[in-house]
Each structure stands twice: as C-alpha cells, then as structure tokens.
Amino acid sequence: MKLRLLPAVLFLGIFFFLPLGRILALSLAPLSQLDAALFSRLADVLRFTFFQAAASSLLTVLFGLPLAFLFARVDFPLKPFLRTLTAIPFMLPTVVVAAAFNALLGPRGWFNLALMSALGLSQPPIIFLGTLGAILAAHVFYNATIVIRLVGNAWANLDPRLGQAARSLGASPASVFWQVTLPLLRPALLAATLLVFLFDFTSYGVILLLGGPKFSTIEVEIALQALQMLNLPAAALLSLIQLLCTLTFSVLYTRSLSRLAAPLKPVPQTPRRAQTRLERLLVASLVCVLLMFYALPLLALPLRSISRLEAQRGQRTASGPALTLEYYTELFINRRGSIFYIPPATAARNSLAYAGLTVACSLLLGFPAAQALARPGRLEKWLDPLLLLPLGASAVTLGLGYLLTFNRPLVPFLVPGRGLALSFLASPLIVPLAHTTIALPFVIRSLQAALATIPPRYREAAAVLGASPWQVWWQVDWKILSRALVSAGAFAFTVSLGEFGAASLLARPEYPTLPTAIFRFLSQPGGMNYGQALAMATILMTITGLAIGLIEKERVAGEF
C-alpha cells in the first residue's frame, strides 16, 4: 500500500511542495527591498481583494438563499433542467464566462446593439466591462450553485414539525424562519459562505477579463509583479499571504462541514407545488430571474459568435446582425502571413494535447494513490490531507512557484562542440505538469470514494467461487471503477482545458492554450479579433459542456 502512494507523493513533492518552498524562501527576503510606495500598493490590493470577496459572497448568499428554498421545498416545471443549468457555470472556464458576459453586455454585446439600433446611438449606452458590477455579477453567476446545493440539501432535510410546532404556539412565518429554520441552517450556510469566499478571494480570470486594469486582486498583482514588473520578491510575498489566507479559510470550511451533521435526524420532505396565487407568482418570478441570469449569457455567446454586424456606408451604427461562419473559418487562416502568428486552431490543438496528457498523468498517479487511501493505515492517514493541499493553492501562485523553481537547467548534458541544458520552462510539458498538480487531488478523492463503495463481501464471494485475484478485480472492482475512472478522467480533462491562471504565466508564446488565445484576442481591438475570441470561447464551452455531461452520467454515489 505504501509503495502505491510513492509516485503521487514524489510528484507533488517536486511539482507542488518544492515550488511553494521556493516562494516561501523568496518571500523572506529583506523587506528593505520593498519601498514604501510598493507597500502602499500591496496594502490597497489586499484590501480590495477582501472587499470584493466579501461583497461577492454576500450577494451570492442573498441570491442563492431563495433559490435554495425553491429547489428544496417547491415542486415546479423544469426543476431538473434549471438545477443543472445553475451548476454549469461552476465548471466553465473563466474566459468562457467573461466572453459570455461580453457578448451579452459588452460594447458589442446584444443589449448595447439593441439599444444603439433602437435609439440611433453611435456609442454603447451600457458600460458594464471594467466595472465592479461586472466582477460581482460574474462571481454570483459562478458560485450561486454552491449555496443552492449545500443550503438546499440541508433545507430539504429539516424536520417540518419544528416549524409547525412554532406556528401552533403563535409564531409568525417570519419568526419561524429567524428563530427555527435559520439556526438549523447556520452550519450549511456558514460552509457555503466560506467556500464562496474562498473562490472569490482567489479569483483571477474574472478580475483580469471583466474588471480591467482599474481593479487588482492578489492573484492579478502576483502576475503583474512577476511578469511585468519583474519584482519576484513582491510577488512571492503576496503568494505567501494568499497561501496563509486560503489555508485559514480551508480550515474554517472543513470545520464548518463537520457541523453539518445536525443532532436532529434528517427528515427528507417531498416538495410541494405552489398553492395560492401569491405563491405561484413568487415561484414564477424566481424561475424567470433564474432563467434570465443563467440562460442569457450562455445563449448570447454562441449566437454572437455567428453574427456579423452589417454597417451601412457612412454610418457608425449597425443596421443589424447577419449570420456568418466567418469567425470560425478565420481560426485556421494566417491573414498577415507572419511566421510568428499562431493560428487559434493551433491553440485548440495544444489545449487538447495538454488535456490528454493531464488525464493520463492524473489517472496513472491518482489510481494507485486512491487504492492506498481507500484502506488507510497510519501512514496513509497522515499523507491523505497532504495530498489534498493543492486544492487550497491558487493556480497563479503555483505558476509563480514554477517560474522560480524550474528556471534553472534540470537535465544538463553536453553536445559535441557546445553545451546544452534542458529545463521544464523551455518545454511545453510544463503546462500539463501544472495542470496535473491541480487536477490530481480531485482525481484521487473521486477514485477513493468509488473504491469505498465496493463491498468487501463481493470480492470474498467471488474468491469463494474460485475466481483468481485477477478475475476478482476484473469482474468486481472494474465494473464499478470503470465509471469512476471515466468521470475522474473527464474532470481532469475539463480542468486542464479551461485552466487560465497557471497557463497565463507558463504557456510559451509558440505553444498557447485556448484560454490564453481567447484572452489575447479579447484584448486586441477590431471586430474580427472579437469575433474569433467568441468563436473560440463557444468551442471551449461546447467541449466543456460535453465533459460535464459525461461526468454527470458516469458519476457514482459518494464521489467528491
């Protein structure tokens, strides 16, 4: 069992703990290297990071709480579809979400196009991108499903007799909620809030793509100091601060989860349909809000990617959109004929290759580790939380650690006439290695849960009937594990395909990924660049959606 853990432990030791050690060593450099102006900027960045995370978490809870009640206690049409719809954004890459909001509310988005056409305006009347509202809206879009699922599951299992008893004693519905329901939901609500805060605190792509240069969180500032300012001590100091904060939030989240087992026995309730006209109106309003908030951005993206604005000669306003596949065909063409131009189609192939390598590495390392952790001894119990530590580290911090650690030759050897040294930073393999580090904890936990569902008596019965150990594994274990392996592999594929934080620091210009290419095209002026970015985002969203569907189809009970 111990030997099965060795490959995963060695991998994380080299590609996770060693980079974090380099960050720690550099962050302890003399503070005199950081001037007063830089300290003031870093303090402002830290304050804004906490502020936007707190504001986003509050809005997410306020938005998700009524929806949690809706899904937990009310039966209404399209309920399974809407529940799945709220979960899709949580798995989408940040560049896709940013492109979706851009297609809906950006300067060339549907809302601005409609208003410009209706009012005869030459400039977009809605300023959404580059505002704090864009950041908050995207965070709610991403994380509301956490509140819906965690709090909704707890709400669905509350004993209704407690509320009925309070009502019989004269309590109003509001008093029942504040004095009975809310205290019972507090552990789930606290866990959901902490998890949402953790995701918002480590947000990178949303701030960079929707917030613009006016806003900078710790994640964005790390990349800025490392890549543009070349101030590695400041970047390392910020990374250390972020690691300590995320570790604190992770510990608080774990403790809050331990309190979810309420002392009262769960009593699952059958959702009921709305009875009165007021109840039906409230349910219809919530469903409409949910549909508009989730469906409109997801639909605006593919529709905008096949729409070209037709402008009349001498006019600055568009006469209307026309259907076209021009943006997709341009993905394969180098119009400038530049030898330095990397077509978007090449970026897509790179991402698929990186994702395939990530799946292979994650499963090869994660499966034996999950087997060892499924029946843990003393050593396995001690190593289990260490293997899950990458869950609390941000991708940008990991990318910075790679820049600090692997910028030196790792495999030096001589070639006749000259010296040659290879390093991971000079190789495109650095990206799938980083993606494997990010995906490996998810894969281990997913396979570990699947292995725990195999009853030992099945193996014993097969052995009693004369099956060899190989036949027992093939006829018993594999029947259950095959689905878990497909699900874990699809999850690793999705994580790699849409990862943006580490790839933005590590991907070489000649080997871009699809998310970095989308970011580059969105950052460049011109309608063709904008259309190609939306086309790539639509392709990425489609592939991610297929992977999500595969995960849901193959997911087994007890998976992470």
Task: Give 151-168 pLDDT, tens digit per residue.
Answer: 888 888 777 777 777 777
| Beta-bridge partners for 418 | 415
Q: What is the DSSP string of 83-108?
A: HHHHHHHHHS-HHHHHHHHHHHHSTT
Cα separation, 552 vs 83, in Å, equals 13
Number of C-beta neighbours around residue 76 at 10 A: 16
> Residues 397-456: pLDDT tens digits?
888 888 888 876 555 544 444 444 446 677 788 899 999 998 998 888 888 777 777 666
Statement: residue 174 has pLDDT above 80: no
Residue 294 and residue 348 in one domain: no
Residue 287 and residue 390 in one domain: no
Residue 115 and residue 190 in one domain: yes
pLDDT attached to residue 358:
94
Residue 521, domain extent: 327-560
Residue 511 and residue 398 in one domain: yes
What 3-state DSSP class applies to 414? strand
| Beta-bridge partners for 74 | 272
Give me the number of domains the chain comprises.
2
- In a domain, residue 94? The reply is yes
Instruction: Please return the burial class of 40, using the count of CB atoms within 10 Å of its CB with bins 0-12, 13-18 and 19+.
Output: exposed
- In a domain, residue 449? The reply is yes
Poorest-confidence range of 112-116, 121-125, 451-455? 451-455
The dihedral sign for the CA sequence 48, 404, 423, 429: negative
| Beta-bridge partners for 419 | 414
* CATH number of the CATH domain containing 365: 1.10.3720.10
What 3-state DSSP class applies to 505? helix
- In a domain, residue 238? The reply is no
Residue 351 and residue 270 in one domain: no
Residue 447 and residue 525 in one domain: yes
558 — alpha (psi -120 to 50), left (phi > 0) or beta?
A: left
- In a domain, residue 338? The reply is yes
| Residue, of 336 and 390, whose pLDDT is higher | 390
Residue 290 and residue 356 in one domain: no
Q: Could you give the dihedral angle defined by the CA atoms of residues 322, 325, 331 and 335, in that order, rounded to the nearest 10 degrees?
A: -60
- In a domain, residue 137? The reply is yes
Number of C-beta neighbours around residue 332 at 10 A: 11
3-class SS letters over 15-36: HHHHHHHHHHHHHCCCHHHCCH
Residue 405 and residue 537 in one domain: yes
Residues 394, 202 contacting (CB under 8 angstroms): yes
What 3-state DSSP class applies to 369? helix
Cα separation, 414 vs 419, in Å, equals 5
Residue 526 and residue 423 in one domain: yes
What 3-state DSSP class applies to 412? strand
- In a domain, residue 551? The reply is yes
Reading the block at residue 501, the tokens are 């934080």
pLDDT attached to residue 262:
47
Residue 50 and residue 134 in one domain: yes
Domain end among 284, 301, 318: 301
The residue with tokens 């209404």 is 76
> Residues 465-505: pLDDT tens digits?
676 776 666 666 777 777 788 888 888 898 898 888 888 88
pLDDT attached to residue 419:
40
Residues 56, 147 contacting (CB under 8 angstroms): no
- In a domain, residue 531? The reply is yes
> Residues 273-312: pLDDT tens digits?
777 787 788 888 888 888 889 989 989 888 888 887 654 3
Cα separation, 447 vs 470, in Å, equals 19
> Residues 504-559: pLDDT tens digits?
888 888 888 888 888 888 888 777 888 888 888 888 888 887 877 777 665 554 44
pLDDT attached to residue 457:
67
Residue 97 and residue 47 in one domain: yes
- In a domain, residue 339? The reply is yes
Residues 184, 261 contacting (CB under 8 angstroms): no
Residue 402 and residue 498 in one domain: yes
